[in-house]
């Protein structure tokens, strides 16, 4: 059975795109919480799965399929951090326009980074088509939206990855270079 399942997932990834191969895995694994220790030995909790909490300000693109979310449970006095992954069949320009407008409406100062410091060949090799960065001065949160290149032979979906977290003390003030995940564990 295991070989058959692996074969079906590989076939799905090849024909429909790797985001669709990840979809049944997400349904099978469900949503789980893990407790880890950060670099200072402080226990941190992360919730990973389709039903992990997402902030109210995070817009959901119409007709996109929610793949999974990650939610770091904040300690007192800290903002939440996390991420979300979506499957979309919209163009990179449509996805970027949606998130630029929707996040700006939520109070974020948005910037279209294109492929950032990558040259077109490297960005294509890494599957990066476009990136957006935003900061919310009132919440002290930075957000990044990564729009991946289409995959699969027939369906050609794109993976959209959204990450958010608090500003670090080294923040340069230009919208995200100093973003860190304050809850990232050092050991398990």
Tens of pLDDT along 9-36?
A: 888 888 888 888 888 888 888 999 999 8
Supply the pTM of this predicted model: 0.81
Tens of pLDDT along 83-118?
A: 999 999 999 999 999 999 999 999 999 999 999 888
Q: What's residue 74's pLDDT?
A: 81
Residue-wise DSSP of the chain: -HHHHHHHHHHHHHHH-HHHHHHHHHHHH--EEEEEE-TTS-EEEEEEETT----TT----TTPEEEEEEEEPPPTT---EEEEEEEE-S-HHHHHHHHHHHHHHTT-EEEEEETTT--HHHHHHHTEEEEEEEEETTTTEEEEEEEEPP-SSSS--EEEEEEEEEBPTT--SSSSTTB--TT--SB-
Tens of pLDDT along 25-83?
A: 888 889 999 998 888 888 888 999 999 999 989 999 999 999 999 999 887 777 779 99
Of 153 and 31, the structure prediction assigns the larger pLDDT to 31
Does residue 162 surpass a pLDDT of 60? yes
Does residue 172 surpass a pLDDT of 50? no
Place 169 in a pLDDT band, splitting at 50, 70 and 90.
very low
Domain boundaries defined on the chain: 2-166
């Amino acid at each position: 059975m295991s070989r058959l399942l692996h074969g079906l997932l590989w076939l799905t990834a090849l024909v429909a795109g790797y985001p669709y191969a990840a979809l049944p895995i997400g349904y099978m694994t469900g949503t789980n919480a893990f407790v880890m220790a950060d670099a200072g030995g402080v226990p941190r909790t992360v919730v990973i799965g389709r039903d992990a909490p997402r902030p109210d300000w995070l817009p959901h693109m119409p007709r996109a399929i929610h793949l999974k979310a990650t939610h770091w449970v904040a300690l007192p006095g800290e903002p939440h951090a996390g991420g979300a992954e979506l499957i979309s069949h919209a163009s990179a320009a449509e996805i970027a326009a949606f998130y630029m407008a929707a996040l700006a409406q939520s109070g974020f100062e948005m910037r279209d980074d294109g492929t950032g410091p990558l040259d077109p060949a490297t960005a294509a090799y890494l599957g990066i088509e476009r990136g957006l960065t935003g900061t919310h001065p009132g919440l002290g949160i930075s957000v990044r939206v990564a729009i991946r290149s289409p995959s699969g032979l027939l369906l050609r979906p794109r993976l959209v990855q959204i990450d958010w977290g608090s500003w670090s003390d080294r923040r340069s003030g230009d919208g995200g270079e100093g973003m860190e995940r304050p809850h990232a564990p050092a050991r398990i």
